[in-house]
Structure 1
Amino acid sequence: MGRHVLVSALVLAACLIPAAPAAADSSTVRVSDWMGSLPGISDIPLTELPIPGTHDSATSTLSGDSPWSQAGRNDLGGIVDVIPRSVAASWSKAQPTGVGQQLRDGIRYLDLRLTREPDGFVYLEHGLRGPRVEQVLAEIGEFVRSHPREVVLLGLNRYTAFDDHGHAQVRSAVVREFGGRIMPSSMGASVTLSQLWNLGRNVVLFDNSNRLLDLGAFGAGAIDAPWPNTMDPAVVINTIQHTLLNHDHNRFSALGTTLTPDFGGIVNGTLNGVTSLADLAVRTSHAPVAHWLRGVVPGRNVNIVTTDWYTNPMCGTSFVRLVLARVDGRDSGTAPCDVWGRGSGTYWSWGDWSVHTWADFAWTPITGATRYEIHLDGFAGGGCVVDTSQLSDVASVRVDRQNQAWAEYICVGSQYDVRVRALVGGQWQPWSTVRRIRL
C-alpha cells in the first residue's frame, strides 16, 4: 500500500506543477519588448532583421493651429499664404500617436525631420511645425532607458535652415537623452542584438547632417531608402520589390511603403472623398502593401519597413505584427488583405420589370474560410449614401440590386467604402482594410 500511496502522491505533485509557458512567437510576443523576447533573433545582423518603422514619425500633434515651418515655406513658397493650415495639417499628419507610444507599440525605426525656426529653437516638421526636438528626444530617451534590450534606430533625416546654434541644440539633446547608449558606427551595420546588449547600447543613430559622427552616428547614405515619390501604390510596390532583389546585407535597407501626395493629387483626392494623408494611406496603400508583405517569405528577406498611420489593422492584424511575422511566418491575420472592384453596370430585368444595378468584387481568400461577408458603406460626397451587405461562399461576389429596394440600392458611378470579413471555424474574423471603390 505504501508504494501505491507514494506513486499516487508523485503523480499528484506532477499534476500540480505549472506547465512551462509557451515560447513567444511573432503573433503573441509583447510588442513593447519584442526584441528582447522573440526567440531566435538575438544573433541575426540588424541589417537582416525585420524592423517596423514609421515615416514622418513626429507629426501626431500637427493641427490647423500649427504654424508653417521654415521647411514648409522653403518647399511651397508663396502658396503657403493661400493654403488653409487645417488642410495642410490633414495632409501633413502622418502618424496618429507620439513617438513614445509608437515605441511601446513595437515600432523600432523613427524618421525625424528637423527645422531651425526664427524663434531660435529646433522643431520637428512636416510642412507645418511640430514639437520641439528636446521633447521628442526625451520621449525616446525615456523608452530606451526603461527598455534596455529594445534597440531603437533613429533617423535624423532632414535639416532645414540650420546654423551652428541649431546643430548645437540637437547635439545637446542627443547627448543628454542617449549619452553612452549610442552604438558606435565602427561596429558596422551587421551588428547583432546580443552584441549591443553586452555593451549596454540600444540606440542606432543615423545623422544626415554628418555633424554627429563623433558620437557614433552613421552618416548620410547609411540606409538604402529609395523614394518613389508617387501616389501610385503599384509603383511603390515595384520599387520595394526591386530594392529587395538588390538588398546589400551589409547595409541597412528601408522599404518605404508610403505614398507622396502632390498638389494635383490632393485636389483630385479631395474631390473623390480622400481628404487627408490618413485617408490616402488607409484606403489606397495599406491594402496592397499588406498583401505584398504577407507574401514575403519569412527569413532574412526584409529589413526596415516604414508606413504612415501604423495603427490601422492590416489583414486583420497590426502593421507591427505583420512585419514581425517575416521572422517566423506566424501571421495571425485572418482578414482579407485587399478587396477590389471588377466592374459594374445596369440591366433591365423582364422577370421583375425593374432596372438592376450590379457590381462585381473579389478579395484575397482566407485559408479555412467557409463564408464571407462584404459590406458597402456609402458616404456623403461619394454619391448615393446607401449601405448594403451580402454573403458569399467564395472569395468573390456579384452585388445585384433592383432600384425598387431602396434599403439596399447601389448606384453606378458612386463611391463606396468596401470591406470584407471571413467566417473561419464558425467565428467571424476581423474586417479587412477598407477600400474606397467607385462603381
Structure 2
Amino acid sequence: MTLPPFVNTPRFLRLFKLIFYPLNYLDDYGQKYGDIFAVGNQKNPLVYVSNPQGIQAIFSADKTLFKSGGGGGFIQTLLGDNSLLLLQGEKHQRERKLLTPPFHGERLQTYGKLICDITQDVTQKLKVNQSFLVREVMQDITLKVILQAVFGLYSGERYEQLQQLLGSMLEFFSYPGNGAIIFFSSLQKDWGNWTPWGRFLRTKAKVDELLYAEIRERRQQQNYSGDDILTLLMLATDETAKPMSDEELHDELITLLIAGHETTASTLSWALYWIHYYPKIEEKLRSHLLNLGEAPNLYDILKLPYLEAICNETLRIYPVVLNTFFRMLQEPLELMGYQFEPGTVFAPSIYLVHHREDIYPQPKQFRPERFLEKQFSPYEYLPFGGGIRRCIGMELAKMEMKLVLATILSQFCLKLTSRRSLKPVRRGLTVAPPTRFKMVVCNQIF
C-alpha cells in the first residue's frame, strides 16, 4: 500500500496549531507536502486533498464508496441526531428532498424584501462618527433573518426569548479557547452554570424547549398559513406521504440556524472589511449600485456581476469552513497514484484549493475581477462544499449577502477604524474575523 506523505509534527503540537492557528496549519502543511498529505496513523489516516482532479474523483464517486455524515460528540450535541449534516444513506436522501424546495426558485425570492427591511431596521441605530462592532451588527441581521424567514417568528415573547437565548448560545463560539472543548470530548463535562460548557448546555435546553413549543402549537392550531421555511417543512411529505416528525423539524431548524446565521454573519463582516480596505473596490461597487437608480429592483441587484464577484472573492480568500465534509472510505481506492484502505478519511480542503497559485494567481490578494475574467469549476471553487453534501442553503446565503451589502452601502458611507490587516480567528468549527473588528460611519446617505 502506497500512502501520501505524513505530517511529522508531534500530535500535541499539531492539534494546538489546528485549534488556535487553523490557517497556518493548512498553509504550512500544504506548502510543505503538496496536493495531498495525511495525518494520524498509517492504518486509518486523515487525508487532506487540495488537487481539483482528486476532489472531483471524491465528489463524483459512487455514493456507496464513501460514508459521510454520522459522528457524535459536540456536533451531535449541537445539532441533534436528525440533522441533515449527520444523516447518512437513505435517511439523508429523504431529508434533503424534503428540505430542498424552500431554498430554490420563486420561493426563495419571497425573502428578498424581508432581508432588505431587516437590514434597514437593524442599521438604523448606527450613528455618524460613531464606531460599531461589525460582527455584532451582522449577527443581529442574520439572526433576525433566520427567526423571520426560517422560523416564521416576527414578534412576541417567544421571538424575544429566542433572540436573546440564541445570541447567548452562539457566544460560546466567540472565544477561540473554547475550540479545545469542541475538539476534545473529555472536556465536555457539565460542571454547572459557571463553566462555558455548562452554560452552553443550559442555554441550548431552553432554546430546544421554545422551538418544540412553537412546533407543537402550530400543529395543534393547524396554523400553516405562513410562507416561512418551518411552515413549508411542516407541510412537506415524502414518497410515502409521511411528514417530518417534531424531532426532525427541531434538529433541522437548529442546523439551519448554525449553518445560516453564524457563517453568513462572518462572510458579511469579511465583505465589508475587504470593500473598504481597497477604496477602488468600494468606489467601483458604489458606481454599479448607483447606476441601478434610486429604487432598484431586487432582481437587478442580485444580477450585478461586480457585486457577485465581490461575494465570490470574499468566500474564496477566507472560506468560513476550511474543509468539506469528511468522507470515510468503505472500499479500497486508488487516488492520485496512492492506494488507500477502508477506514481512511478524506478531507477535501476548500481553503487550500482556493489558495492554489496555479488556479488563483496571487491567492492572498483580494481581487474580485478574477471572477469576471474566468469561470471556475466546482472542484476549483467550492465555498459551500460539493457533491451530495453541498450546503442546501447556498442560494439563500448568496442572496442574503448581496442584498445586505447593497442595502448598507445605499444608506451609509463607512470606513475602517484601522488600516492594519485583519487576521482570521477560530470561531467554533469555523474561522471568522475577530469579534473586536470595528468600523465607523463617516456619512449617512439619504
Q: Which has the higher contact order (CA 8 A, sep 6+)?
A: 2
TM-score range, shorter chain: under 0.3
Q: TM-score, normalised by structure 1?
A: 0.25
Greater Rg over alpha carbons, structure: 1
Q: TM-score, normalised by structure 2?
A: 0.25
**In proportion to residue count, which structure has more strand?**
1
